[in-house]
Amino acid sequence: MNPANTLFTISLIGNALASNIGTFLAFRLISGLGGSACFSISGGIVADLLEVHQRGVASALITTGSVSGPVFGPLIGGVIAQRAGWRWIFWVLLIACTVVTAAIAVFAPETNAVVIIHRKTLRLRKDMGRQDLRSAYNPDRNLTRDPWPLLAQAISRPWKMFLYCPMVVVLAFMAGLISGILYILLTTTSTFFQRVYHWPLETAGLAYLGLGVGSLAGLFVFAKTSDLIAVRLAKANNNIYEPEMRVVTAFLPAVLVPVTFFWYGWSTYSQTHWIVP
């Protein structure tokens, strides 16, 4: 994760200094490549550190960051853009990300047991002069082998899961659809409130607080119910936990998405009082 965070942080310099739209979009692509690692790895970190019945709260806490960013980002960014110019949005992000990336690199330990024992095995081999030592997790693995096959396996594995596991396909399309709809909302809300309700740029960012409050409320409900539901379903399944048991918590709230988007679309089209949308 550290190389990805570093890539994301460095790319912000290019965003701030971009002289044309092509350069800007290229560096935004690089930012996306670097920033995506946190979303991919966070679930694995939770699984490494916590038991099944404790992961709901931890997952909710981690997701709070990805929910708060799109909500408070436009609010803070609007103030910065109006008072200091849009380039300073990326300079402020560069400062914040440099601090966070450095803190993670220095203070965040490795959590994967396989990697931890792998490193310990290498250290004991050197300290004890015992080249016959093997990791308990992968005793037959050559610890100094070429990393490229491992990288190829890591890249191909998610696609195999997507192609051969129906539940992954369902969740991927569900998450993709809701994320797409969410980002349509995020990219249009500020502009809409400026044009229809004539809010200044700084004030238009406040419109995202409704989304933020709803998201935090949803995460709170998930944190309180996810572990309880997973444990109850596992007991009913002869104490065998299945990952799909977490999905139950997601489908009922998902019904609210089309309902509330109809509400938002109707209220904006009819130009009702701003509190309605």
Q: How confident is the model at residue 140, as a pLDDT? A: 56
Q: How confident is the model at residue 260, as a pLDDT? A: 86
pLDDT in tens, the chain (277 residues): 788 889 999 999 999 998 899 999 999 999 988 888 887 788 788 888 887 777 777 877 887 877 777 778 777 887 888 788 889 999 999 999 999 999 988 888 887 777 888 888 888 888 888 877 777 776 555 555 667 887 888 889 888 888 888 888 888 888 888 888 888 887 788 888 888 888 887 788 788 888 888 888 888 888 888 888 888 888 888 888 887 777 777 777 778 888 888 888 888 888 888 888 8
Copy the structure tokens of residue 160.
Answer: 């195999």
Cα 213 to Cα 220: distance, rounded to the nearest angstrom? 11
Cα 109 to Cα 22: distance, rounded to the nearest angstrom? 38
Please, are residues 177 and 257 in contact by the beta-carbon 8 Å criterion? no
Q: What is the dihedral of CA 213, 221, 218, 260, to 10 degrees?
A: -110
Q: How confident is the model at residue 21, as a pLDDT? A: 92
Comparing CA positions, the residue from 59, 50, 45, 48 lying closest to residue 225 is 59
Half-sphere exposure at residue 3, Cβ-oriented, CA atoms within 13 angstroms: 0
Please, are residues 177 and 253 in contact by the beta-carbon 8 Å criterion? no
Comparing CA positions, the residue from 76, 131, 243, 260 lying closest to residue 185 is 260
Q: How confident is the model at residue 103, as a pLDDT? A: 92
- To the question of pTM greater than 0.75 for the whole model, the response is no
Cα 38 to Cα 216: distance, rounded to the nearest angstrom? 20
- CA 98-33-87 angle, 5° bins: 50
Q: How confident is the model at residue 141, as a pLDDT? A: 57
